[in-house]
Chains A and B, each alone.
Chain A
Amino acid sequence: MKKITYIILGMSLLALSSCYKKDNWAEPDVQIHGNIIDFYTQKPLLSSQGDWSIRYWEKSWTESAAQPRELPVKQDGTYNNNKQFAGAYDMLPYGGPFWPVVDTVRSVAFGGSTQQDFTVTPYLQVVDLTTSLSGTDLTITCRLKAPKRVGLPNLVEVKPYLSLTTFVGESNYINIAEYNNKRIQINKSWIDENGNVETSKLYTIGPLPVKSGYTYNVRVGANVNDANRKYNYSEIKQVIVP
């Protein structure tokens, strides 16, 4: 009886082990990472988590046509992915709040830990962010800057973002009518709105009702009517409501 049990156990072990098959392809272990540099500030672009992505095409794989894949850009203006196959890739920052990048970066060699930075020219900069509290009413002011105004698509809106976490922007904010309805919809050209000057007038948003005892992370986004309408952001300001 015992013998039979051992035989069955042994056979099933053998049988099951045939299911274990090691892939003949090495697992993807290459890291690609880098910064998206703001041309004006030479610092990483102020972004919102996953708002837009870097497109990349694997060119060393030729069995089928390369389809674009995406590397989402993080809030701090960096991107990172450590599960890539080694090979040659084309890369392009695409669909973000900046003047379209015309030149795809060709044949980036992914291997080990590869860093590839990109420099982009944002449409707008959101500067001079101030916040002021009056009781539980928050008022925000800011200005926009457009260093490059020729061919700039129409301004669309200036929108406040509030969040109770440190992630704040279009991809994560308190999405309620009380805040959204206070956004400033412009829909005019920069020249019509501000004249041909680099820095805009002061935009005041509010009052926004906030709750006592909470800490808010606040920033402002502004966008233009390009094909993507993504936002350029201000720095994040923390507001502690007593």
Chain B
Amino acid sequence: MGRRSLNGAEWAAMIMTGALHLSRHVERINALNVFPVPDGDTGTNMNMTMKAGVAELERRPSDEAGKAAEVLARGLLMGARGNSGVILSQLFRGFVKAAAGLHEIRVAEFAAALQHGVEIAYKAVVKPVEGTILTVAREAAREGALMARRTDDLFVWMREVQRKAAETLARTPDMLPVLKQVGVVDAGGQGLVFLYEGFLEYLQTEGSAVDTRPAESPAASVIQAQPAASPEKAEIALPHAPVQAQIATESIVFPYDMEFFIRRTSSSAPFPEAEFRRALERDGDSVIIIDDGDTVKVHVHSRKPGDVLNLALTYGELTDIHILNMRQQHRGLLDGQETGSAAREMEARQPVGVGSGAGGWSAVEAGAGDPPLGMEAATGISSPDSPWPAQTVAPARVPHPHAHEMAPYGIVAVSVGEGNAELFRSLGVDVVLTGGQTMNPSTEDVLQAIEALAAEHVMVLPNNPNIILAAEQAANLAGKPVTVIPTRSILQGMAAMLAFLEDEPADVNARRMAEAAEKVVDGQVTKAVRDTKINGLDIREGQYIGIMGKAIVTAGDRLLDTVCGLLERMMENGGDVVTVLTGEGSDGEITQRIADWLAERYPDAELEIRDGGQPLYPYLLAVEQ
């Protein structure tokens, strides 16, 4: 007799099993990239996204299915990386709606959750394409709705859903010609099928609610290990390091990153969330308030942690207080020794209890219900060599009205390569997030960069088609106006920066920047990672390929010929300025020969060559009118 319902903990365990199953197949999913380019990362993105969701479930476990779904959705949302990750985060929001207020979910709710998720995900994507993860999710959800009328056995039901998902996945090449041409199924869809397989695996095992967690699940390792030694957690935290290293320490206006829970003393009256939020935002940012009725989770970046805690105390008892100084953390990153970045990150993140200067409350109350938090807090307190005391003094800055320190604009650009980062900064970009072809920043990374800027309006240049959605998601979550300029390459991003004028209003700048980016004809040269036939080209692994916009237009064994062939195509409609960014695998002599060839072939064009330093792409090119 199969299982008929899942409580919050069981549901979470199922999700974790799915995530674990997905994580075992990351490379297989990555290999499904349509282009034979070395930046196939759908698997990595989906895996990182799920890990962020699972980490949140571990931080805030709940027996209530409705609450667990909310916790997961939040984690996925913040951790979403790449388009597939963003879509995944949207799909799982279906559970929030379907399980709202419920202790347990059954087949009916599960089926409704998949349906809602598909609706939400389709809305999140501007131009949904069939033959992708969306189609797989939709068909599986449809099957789920049908099957829900026939069975209330979760395993039986999930088996049919999973079967339909796999079947739809197999048909994706028929729906999306490019998949067929290359001979692969959709990578995102494949990721979803692996997740469903994991769910099925969990549902298949007969176990009681107490003993549902598979021993090798990521959950177990994080909870059992010391935080600093946890490889799972470090892996999640890792991508934050380069992000923060790009921000100037002084630009962190609200240095104290605070997180705590308010245990409501009288939960008869509803928590005045809006009022509390306004109070926090008066001198802080990144405010997140999650009201669970009897406990309220609060996250805020503040200048005056004491004030925040005093205010919060008026609403109830405070537990699991974490405060860390982001400036200190950031300085640590900047002049960090050559230790592994993961270790550095953990050290910097080490939470520190606050002295009891603000009142009679005890600094840290390790809540019994939150083992991971309680343990982390205790570690922080007892750490003998905590560098904290020297840093606890708040910067002696007279608080002045917000408007005075606000720049009219702040600009965040995603880029890869030190040279490119320098170029972006020289063009007026405030924060350069590392990412792009090999590692997509998460929604949270982008959000952090946005929140770190004391600006009235933030412009985000994703500079990669696979980062646009995550950037848009971050824009929606941000506590200030943000515009995402949908730039698809580094050189489009640079063109957009040239069009930016600080004096103009945001809508004018958004239009100018998007138009400037559109006008760029961009090209990339890299090496094929496998044999393929595409656009009439017979490409062998290891050959150079030239990509113009979205299409591979040249391929060959010689780098010089490939670059020149690509440039010729790019110049077909004329061009005044040619920009070349050299990266790993480029060669001074070849670069010189490209310059000579260009001067001879297009004597009127102005050529600029800069060292971009991007990996995997020896040359990034742009032609502008």
Tell whether A pairs with B. Answer: no
**Chain B residues packing against A (C-beta within 8 Å):** none
Chain A positions within 8 Å of B, measured between CB atoms, are none
